[in-house]
Every structure is written in C-alpha cells, then in structure tokens.
Amino acid sequence: MKINSPLEAYKYLPGTNCAICGEQTCMAFASHLIDRSKKLSECTPMLEDKFRKKLDQLQGLLAPEIRQVEIGVGEKVVKIGGDDVLYRHKLTFFNQTALAYDVWDTMDEKDLVERVNKIQDFKKFYVGNFLTVDMVAVRSTSNDPKKFASAVKKVVETTDMPLVLCSFNPEVLKAGLEVAKDRNPLLYAANKDNWQQVAALALEYDVPVTLFAPNDLDLLKSLAKTFAEMGIEKLVLDPGTFPSGKQLKETFSNFIKIRRAGIDGDREIAYPLMAVPLTAWMVHDDPVSASYWETVVASVFTIKYGDIMILHSIEPYAMLPELHIRDTIYTDPRKPVTVDPGMYKIGSPTKDSPVFVTTNFALTYYTVESDISSNKIDCFLWAIDTDGIGVEAAVAGGQLTAAKIKKGIEDSGFNMKDDTSHNTIILPGLSARLQGDVEDETGSRVLIGPADSGRIPGWLEKNWPPKNK
C-alpha cells in the first residue's frame, strides 16, 4: 500500500458522506480502507463514470505491496501474498500460509487416494471453527508424463483442493496440466534451465507459476523480471529451502531479504514466497526426526514470510503444530479474541443443571463450550470478563477474582438462590485458589472442576448432583 493515512485515501473518495458503504462518513470509510476491513468496491458511487480516474488511482494506491496470487477454483480457492508490512502488529498479515502436503506419481493408486483423503479430511476444532490444511502437491518422481498425468487425474477425482504440479520437466508438467487445467493449479517450477518452456506453459494455460532459484537471488529476480516482461505476473518465488546448517541460515536470510525488498517497493521481486520444508526428509532417515525437523523449518517460515509451503509428514503430531503456528501468526494481533461476557445456556438447562464459570477469552470459552455441548450436557456457562485473558493467567494477574465472578453472574440477572435448586458454582480447576473467596463473596457453595474442560463429563459423573453436606 502506497499510502497509510485515512486522510490520503479520503482525498479520492466522493466526500458526500452518503453512508451507502455502511459508514457514517467518507473519512470513516477511508480509515477502514487503510486497515483493510472494507473494500473499495463497497463505495458504489465510486463506480460511476465520473469517478473512474480516481477509482483507478486509489486502487493503485491501496494495492498491497506483495502481489496476491490465487490458486485453484471455486470454494477452496487459495489466495496467497497480499501483505503490506514486515511486522504483524503494524497491520496484521493477510492470506495465511497455504499448506500443501505431497503425493507422488510412483505411489500405488490405492495409497495415493488414501493419502489424499487423509490430507483433505484432517481437521481440528479451534476457537469456534475447524483448522484444516489447504492443498495437495503432486510430485513427479517418475519423470514420466503418462504416470504423472494419471496421478494428477486420480487426485483431481478424489479432491477439489487446489493443486501444485511439481516437476522440472516441461513435458511432465504439460501432461499434468492437460488433466488439471480447469483447476488453476500452481506450476512448480521454472528454473534456469527450463524457464522458456515453463513460461510457454504458464501462458498457454494461464496458470500461476513458481520460479525456483536455490540460493541465488539475482537469478530469482532475473526470472521474475523476465516472466513479468512476458506478461506472467501470477508468480510465486522459491529461493530454495535448505534444511540444515549454514545453508538453512542463508535460506532464512533470503526470505527476509526478499520480503523486505518487496515491502520496501521493489516491484520486481514483490511476489509471494514458497518454502519447501519437505527437504528436511533429505537429511533425516528416521521418520520422527524428519517430521520434527520439517515442522521446525515450517514454523520458521510460517513466521518469517513463507506464503505457501510443501510438506511431507501427515502425522498429526506434525500437522497440529503446523496448523496452530499458522493460526497464531495470521490472527489479527490488534484485536483480542474475546466473546461477550455473560451467561450462555448450553442445551436446555433447568434449575437442577450445573453452573460453570469460565473466562471471555475466546479460546477458553469455545473450548469449554464445545467440550460441554458435544457431550450433551445441559448447563449454564458464565463467560466472566477477564479482558480476554485465559483462566490461569487471569487468576495470577487479578482479572479473574471472586468479585468479578459475583458481578458477572449478577449482571446477567441470574440469582443463584432462586434460579438454581443447588446454589452451587463450579470453578475451573486452574482457579482453585479462588474457592474460599468466591464462597464468601457469593454465599454459594463452590466446587472445583477439572483443570481441563475435556474432563468435565467424567467429573460430573462423580460430582453431580452435589451431595448435601
């Protein structure tokens, strides 16, 4: 983005405060354009002919420094790139790193289908949603166009996830493209030897293409400049991912250098970056060591500017942290993830149902809520306002106190004595030290629940309904 103040964007807007975009003023809309929470197209008056020039100018000014590239089609289309800053607190990072897991064309057909299904079915609940992975990368290990085409065909039949077609042989790539051309796959890759043929394929099939120049940034930039000159701007840059030693340190430097140059305005190199943590498997024989190191390399390049990566291990112990570190880095750090404080009814609670307390940190809340509701437990659940801090830290930091719990319950108009038959509050295990205080403050009986809400069902079996003292 060439501009960073709402005032600069405001100059181009109609200035009529018509509120069609949903904002009261054009200035408010301008500030949302700058933080990218609104799109220019939401200002429909700008689409009128008389604003055409200003619209074009503003669009140019608002375009992200790093180009955005789309891979795939339909609902599962993956967008990568589109960033404007080097540090996420300045704006947030957009378009989270796309994770592609590999299959190869010498695989047995049944194994291939099974692996693709594992990749596309992998999911983990987190903060109200499921974390999933994005893509399948098909590697040609046979270097045989026919074999590759048939592997790609099998993948296309099995999943609608976007694809990366991997070979340095243009004949092989062409065979894959013929099968997958309607799916807008990412071509991998053009290098110093094959670039003319691969460029021809990218033009002919109008698909995004990766440029590969291991540890040679001059060559990488030359390739990018040449492709751009040919009219191919849907580019992804792979400076090579070396998995160990000083070479890995150099890879780290390369990623930072390319992204810094791009954000600083060097258009010739301002494209999304690809990392290939899979190379960890070329140095580790033992699958656990290889998976660990692959996850470690993936984490480094999720944090430092990798926009898409190709991975091999589909062990959950590798995939879970990969998904979580990506979510961590691409969560907007400017907004605390919270839910509204207050009372939530889970299922259909009655006067005899348990009363649970948790915090309004979204992760805590959704974890507890899903653990309870998936086990079909009817209850009342209070999200106490802890400024979006989780239980353990909130107890230590004083954001979760007996007074806060009392206030939280009372503010929702709930009366422990009248609205329950048991006058009992269940505190999270990690806030056990508040037990006495909460009893004094609320006059209710207080039970200490398990430290992890995943154990609530078992805990309830033993402790609910509460025995009269």
129: three-class secondary structure by DSSP: strand
Smallest gap from residue 268 Cβ to another protein (A): 6
What's phi and psi for 25, nearest 5 deg?
-130, 160
Q: Is there binding between residue 31 and another protein (CB under 8 A)?
A: no
Interface positions, 121-150, toward another protein (CB under 8 A): 121-126, 130, 139-141, 143
Count of residues near another protein by CB under 8 A: 113
Residues between 367 and 426 that touch another protein (CB under 8 A): 367, 370-371, 374, 389-390, 392-393, 396-398
Site for another protein in 155-174 (CB under 8 A): 166-168
Each residue 207-236 as x (binds another protein by CB under 8 A) or -, in order, gives -------x--xxxxxxxxxx--xxx-----
10 vs 459 by CB, closer to another protein = 459
| Of residues 174-203, those binding another protein (CB under 8 A) | 188, 191-192, 195-196, 199-200, 203
Residue 95: strand, helix, or coil: coil
Which member of 331, 423, 424, 463 binds another protein (CB under 8 A)? Answer: 331
Tell the smallest beta-carbon distance from residue 90 to another protein (Å): 10
Q: Which of 28, 61, 113, 320 binds another protein (CB under 8 A)?
A: 320
CA 313 to chain CA mean position, Å: 19
- Site membership for another protein, residue 433 (CB under 8 A): yes
3-state secondary structure 210-243: EEECCCCHHHHHHHHHHHHHCCCCCEEEECCCCC
Query: Of the candidates 12, 29, 242, 344, which one interacts with another protein according to CB under 8 A?
Result: 242
Tell me which of 325, 347, 411, 419 binds another protein, using CB under 8 A.
325
Options 35, 117, 157, 317; binder of another protein; rule CB under 8 A: 317
DSSP helix/strand/coil, 82: coil
Decide: is 454 part of the binding site for another protein (CB under 8 A).
Answer: yes
CA–CA separation, 338 and 332 (whole Å): 12
Please report where in the chains the tokens 């003319």 appear, as a residue: 196
Question: Which of these segments, 10-18, 237-245, 344-352, 402-410, binds another protein (CB under 8 A)?
Answer: 237-245
Distances, alpha carbon 140 to alpha carbons 59, 103, 144, 173, in Å: 40, 9, 7, 9
Query: Is residue 205 a contact residue for another protein (CB under 8 A)?
Result: no
| Nearest Cα residue to 449 out of 468, 467, 436, 462 | 462
Q: Which two tokens stand for residue 283?
A: 């140095």
Judge contact between 45 and 20, C-beta under 8 A: yes
Per CB under 8 A, which region of 17-25, 71-79, 154-162, 272-280 contacts another protein?
Answer: 272-280
CB environment 239-257: b (16+ within 10 A), e (fewer): bbbbbeeeebeebbebbee
Using alpha carbons, list the distances in angstroms from residue 408 to 109, 337, 362, 455.
58, 19, 16, 24
- Angle between helices 245-263 and 217-229 in degrees, nearest 10: 40
Show the binding pattern over residues 10-29: x = contacts another protein (CB under 8 A), - = does not: --------------------
53-112 binders of another protein (CB under 8 A): 87-89
Map 286-343 to HEC letters: CHHHHHHHHHHHHHHHHHCCCCEEEECCCCHHHHHHHHHHHHHHHCCCCCCCECCCEE
Residue from 85, 235, 290, 379 touching another protein (CB under 8 A): that is: 290
Query: Which of 300, 381, 409, 438 forms a contact with another protein (CB under 8 A)?
Result: 300
Q: Is 240 in the site for another protein (CB under 8 A)?
A: yes
Minimum distance between the CB of residue 177 and another protein, rounded to whole angstroms? 16
